[in-house]
Structure formats: C-alpha cells, structure tokens
Structure 1
C-alpha cells in the first residue's frame, strides 16, 4: 500500500492515474455519443502529461539522470537504460505523434483513432511502470 499512498506525490499520482483510466474507460464505453474527439484528446494529453511529471518525480527520474551525468547522487528507482525507461519512451512517442496528428486530422473518426493511439501509449506506460515498481519492491 505504501507504493500507492506513501507520501503526497505518490497519493496524488495514484488518484490522478485512476481518474485518467476512468476517463479513458468512459470515453471508450460512450464512443457512440461523443462528438468532439479533439477536445478529449487534448484533455487526455494534459492529464497524462501532469501524471507523467508526477510519476517521474515519484520514481526519482531526475536523480537517475543526474547520476548518469556526473554521479553526484544516487540513482532513482529505475536505471537510465532499462526496460521500463525504454518502453516509457515508446509510449511517449505514441502520445506525441497522436498529439501532433489530431489537430491536422479533419474528420472526427480519425480524431477518435488518434485518441485510441494516445490512450494506448498512456496505458502502455502506466502498466509497465506500475508492474516494474511492484517487482522492484518485492
């Protein structure tokens, strides 16, 4: 339980991740009545970006980068070259591509598809990082 409600950053990250997953689930379940997919994609991007920043703080990514640069501090939870970090970069690339492509796209159907691409990137990051955190703390 300490993994998810250990301190303020961890608690806020957990709550916001649950809200994000609920938003994605709600959007998928009600896809037939949603008319503005671009707005949903923007909200998903902003919420995902905030959660990503909080999770990076929670997991000590700044310490990992500082350790790789000059070794002046201990590294964070994951090393700089690790499977969670690499898969996180793949998820981030999916999110960025979808964010750039959504306003360019003219039809709502294509914006819906880009919403799913962005959702997939976010879910990939969440699942891999959370499983890695659990395995790291066993």
Structure 2
C-alpha cells in the first residue's frame, strides 16, 4: 500500500485500484476537536478535487476533497457516532471514504510522505 498527500492535507492510501481517503494529522490538529462528519453516499462519483465530505470541529467546518477521481465504494459510517475518531486516529481509523480510482495516473500529481512532511515544515 502506498499513501499520497494533497496540499489541502488529504491523504489517500492506495490498495490495488481502491484508495481510502482521510485528512492528515496536521489537518486534524489544526481543526481541533471534531464534532460532526458528513459523508457522501456509496456510488457517488467524483472528479479529482471535488468536495466529498464535510468535517466540523469546535473551531470551523472544512471540506474534504478527493485526491483522485472515482466512485465511492465504502464510507466510514462509524464516524457518524464517533467523529472524534478523526482526531484520535487521523491516518488510521479516522478515514472518511474509500474510492475506486478512475485514473491511477492522477496519483502522480500527489506528494509522497517525505514530500508532504517537507511541505508541512514550510507552513
């Protein structure tokens, strides 16, 4: 499995032709305590960069954008009852959705973990 990051602090962990999408620990910390998550419906199709989910914290509401285009094949329904999981495990159990990747070439426009860490260090 490979993990890629966007400049908007989303990540996608790719396993075959599917990727789990979430927000980075950097984003989760910046948001503060997450109190609500709105997820898309399974079967929804998105283009790269589309708004796919909304996360609300005590500080603000933020959109979660798709790092690549594709069709939602699963959502993390556990977040509806336990949105704080996004803070507790942003790069693990706090994932938002899984997407069947339409065009794997779009992954080449994203950052690997080393580049993402360097990107965050400059913020």
Give the alignment's TM-score, normalised by structure 2: 0.31
The structure richer in strand per residue is 2
Give the alignment's TM-score, normalised by structure 1: 0.29
The structure richer in helix per residue is 1
Q: Which structure is higher in RCO with an 8 Å CA cutoff and minimum separation 6?
A: 2
Larger Rg: 1
